[in-house]
Chains A and B, each alone.
Chain A
Amino acid sequence: MPTITYREAGKLAVQEAMQADPSVWCLGEDLGRGGVFGQYAGLETEFGDDRICSTPISEAAIMGAAVGAAMAGTRPIVEMRFADFALCAIDELVNQAAKARYMFGGQVKVPITVREPMGMWRSSAAQHSQSLEAWYTHIPGLVVVAPSTPADNYGLLSTSIKSDDPVVYMEHKNLWDVSGDVTLGQTLPLGKAHIAKHGGDVSVVTWSAQVHTALEAAEILATEGIEIEVIDLRSLWPWDEDTVAKSLAKTGRLVVCHEAVGVSGFGAEILATISERYFGLLKRPPIRVTAPRIPISYAPNLENEVKVTAKDISNAIRQMD
């Protein structure tokens, strides 16, 4: 069981998939140099520049070509560099990749894995920091994944590449250097949450880098005798309603925290679903701890304004009584 970084875990998943299946290839800008975060380092040497394809700065073509190449029998891994730039390829993802199978009556599938590094990272400001995962959950046809640990990045990316569905795979830029144990060969199902910490008082549902923030909050609260359960959804579509409901049956208190803007964020969907289907489990009104609806700033003190911190989470939980 090697201890590796989140970055290396992603690379390992790609490397193993490419070794196992010659139809898997990667396309994106600067991949030959390892990609902007080094998550492809060395892969061009192993697989050649046909399969580690360094492309022009043409996001629409990167995504569109991947759709065509998937229809034509390959399994492309699409690198968008920053999730923000995927917006230059949104027709190709939403109207083409996500719809082709359906509108062509099942004649074809589009097995692409779209890696979209997301989230706040080192004063990256408004165009390099966003968490737009909720947008994709709205689109029928897409699977949406947001791993929080090296083991999850390895296990979920491996499964995503093998999936026949288009997967939006959102790694968090602030997690690249996080280390953890990874069991080789241990892939993970999509749609199955992980209970990152057990507890009987409050169910805290989250994903991606916020899992670590919620775990910090758990430590603070534990000193006060409050035991929260931290549920890492791992994937947002499908999302593991059952695990959340089981936890609520125990706690009766729901908190969702996420890095994204709260308005129309995925927390809204979770609260709505739980209210509609499991209202009877709730002993208190559910709470969202999310970012205000302002762009992300450059100056660190302003950037901090949108950050959901362990303090924010623990404060919110204390107010639940």
Chain B
Amino acid sequence: MPKSNLDISRLKERYHTMLRIRAFEEFAIKAADEKLVLGAIHPSIGQEACAVGVCAALRQDDFLLSTHRGHGHTLAKGADALAMMRELFGREGGICGGKGGSMHIADFSVGMLGANGVVAANINIAAGAAHAAKLLGQDKIAVCIFGDGAINRGPFLEGLNWASAFNLPVLFICEDNQWASTTRSKDVTGGDDPVKRANSLGIKGESVDGNDVMAVEEVTTRMVTEIRAGAGPRLLHAKTYRLLGHTSVDKAAYRPDGEADGKWAECPISRTKDLLIRAGVSESEISKLKADAAAEMNAAFEEAKVSPWPAISDAYSDVQDIGSIKPMDT
């Protein structure tokens, strides 16, 4: 429960960022339904608190590495919504020039080193980014967010062991939405807790209510302070719930009837709204925050829609310096 004015204004800010993420994804889903976004998109609706709470605890020059479900993380790290929307549409001016799409969103100017289309691949890459920061004597840290499904791939073992062995400044975050595609993660996972797996590799960790944005921010802030001070890696297990299907076209019919129904009221946006109301923030102010977020993303949607396609020559650029080919070589 926020007490001071400072707490309330911070909470409003976090709430607004979560609303922006929600609105971005609602427009992305609409665009996918209208065949304006052609590739798969993986909405993080219901999981916004993890993105916002974590990024609130980071500096802009800290590295963040994300997953296929990374719109929220990327926006929270400070990437431009219009450039992201254009990327989903595959248009010129997209954050990756339209060459990556939803699963390869990155914004190196804000330390966001990429979503990844390969589950768990960013765990090792994050360890390496942290390794470089240490070698270069910088005090940046790397944060790697991955899903509950990712902890069953090899890079989880190799990357966590690596970070532990070299005492690297990296924070691993298992954003546990309980589902991995159409499979309930606990049905295919040995042991009951990613924190224990981390502990077995010499990494301290804790669990947090991943739908409580202030709790996520608080524990992340504490862990980041320890990591920056040289304490080595940490793992945070943020428990949340994937309210929609795996992708925008997945109706999640494999889930037991009604499983998700009660979960909407527990989503981070509903919960934060309740907190704000109880702290005395007016409904009209809350509606205005919502309207602002929707207007921003509506404008991004409309702008992306009329943005031109990338030039064909872009297909040949940024492959490599040595041995690159030109269109006529094909």
Whether B132 contacts A68 by the Cβ 8 Å rule is yes
The proximity string for B residues 292-330 relative to A, scoring 1 for CB distances below 8 Å and 0 otherwise, is: 000000000000000000000000011111110000000
Q: Whole-angstrom distance between the alpha carbons of A176 and B85 in the complex?
A: 53
Residue of A63, A74, A105, A141 contacting most chain B CB atoms (<10 Å): A105
Residues of chain A with a CB closer than 8 A to B322's CB: 143, 163, 165, 190-191, 238
Binding site for B on A (CB under 8 A): 23, 25, 50-51, 53, 55-56, 58, 60-61, 63-74, 76, 91-92, 95-96, 100-108, 140-143, 163-166, 190-191, 237-238
Q: Whole-angstrom distance between the alpha carbons of A25 and B135 in the complex?
A: 9
Binding site for A on B (CB under 8 A): 63, 65, 94-100, 104, 106-109, 113-114, 116-118, 121, 123-133, 135-136, 142, 154-155, 158-159, 161-162, 165-166, 317-323
Whether A68 contacts B129 by the Cβ 8 Å rule is yes
Q: Whole-angstrom distance between the alpha carbons of A102 and B159 in the complex?
A: 24
Residues of chain B with a CB closer than 8 A to A73's CB: 132, 136
Whether B106 contacts A107 by the Cβ 8 Å rule is yes
Minimal Cβ-Cβ distance residue in A for B116? A96
Whether B95 contacts A105 by the Cβ 8 Å rule is yes
With beta carbons under 8 angstroms apart, the residue of B118, B131, B142 that contacts A96 is B118
Whether B320 contacts A65 by the Cβ 8 Å rule is no
Given contacts A61-B161, A64-B124, contact A105 B100 (CB under 8 A): yes
Q: Whole-angstrom distance between the alpha carbons of A68 and B132 in the complex?
A: 8
Whether A61 contacts B108 by the Cβ 8 Å rule is no
Minimal Cβ-Cβ distance residue in B for A143? B322
Whether A95 contacts B121 by the Cβ 8 Å rule is yes
Residues of chain A with a CB closer than 8 A to B63's CB: 72
Given contacts A71-B113, A96-B118, A102-B99, 14 further A-B contacts (CB under 8 A): A50-B135, A65-B127, A65-B128, A68-B65, A68-B124, A68-B126, A68-B142, A71-B129, A72-B113, A73-B136, A91-B121, A105-B100, A106-B97, A165-B320
With beta carbons under 8 angstroms apart, the residue of B96, B116, B162 that contacts A55 is B162
Residue of B106, B117, B142 contacting most chain A CB atoms (<10 Å): B106
Residues of chain A with a CB closer than 8 A to B319's CB: 101-102, 140-141
Whether A104 contacts B96 by the Cβ 8 Å rule is yes
Whether B132 contacts A72 by the Cβ 8 Å rule is yes
Can you show 23 pairs from A to B with CB atoms below 8 A apart? Answer: A25-B135, A61-B161, A65-B127, A66-B128, A67-B124, A68-B124, A68-B131, A69-B129, A72-B136, A73-B132, A95-B117, A95-B118, A96-B121, A102-B99, A104-B100, A105-B95, A105-B100, A108-B113, A140-B320, A165-B320, A165-B323, A190-B322, A238-B323
Residue of A70, A74, A95, A191 contacting most chain B CB atoms (<10 Å): A74
Q: Whole-angstrom distance between the alpha carbons of A73 and B95 in the complex?
A: 21
Number of A-B contacts (CB under 8 A): 156
Question: Shortest 6 CB-CB distances between A and B: which pairs?
Answer: A64-B124, A68-B128, A65-B128, A238-B323, A105-B96, A105-B97
Whether A74 contacts B100 by the Cβ 8 Å rule is no
Whether A105 contacts B318 by the Cβ 8 Å rule is yes
Whether B136 contacts A74 by the Cβ 8 Å rule is yes
Residues of chain B with a CB closer than 8 A to A65's CB: 124-125, 127-128, 131, 159, 162
With beta carbons under 8 angstroms apart, the residue of B106, B128, B323 that contacts A191 is B323
Residues of chain B with a CB closer than 8 A to A141's CB: 319-320
Q: Whole-angstrom distance between the alpha carbons of A130 and B121 in the complex?
A: 26
Residues of chain A with a CB closer than 8 A to B132's CB: 68-74
Residues of chain A with a CB closer than 8 A to B154's CB: 60
Whether A190 contacts B323 by the Cβ 8 Å rule is yes
Residues of chain B with a CB closer than 8 A to A106's CB: 97, 317-318
Whole-angstrom distance from the CB of B126 to the nearest CB of chain A?
6
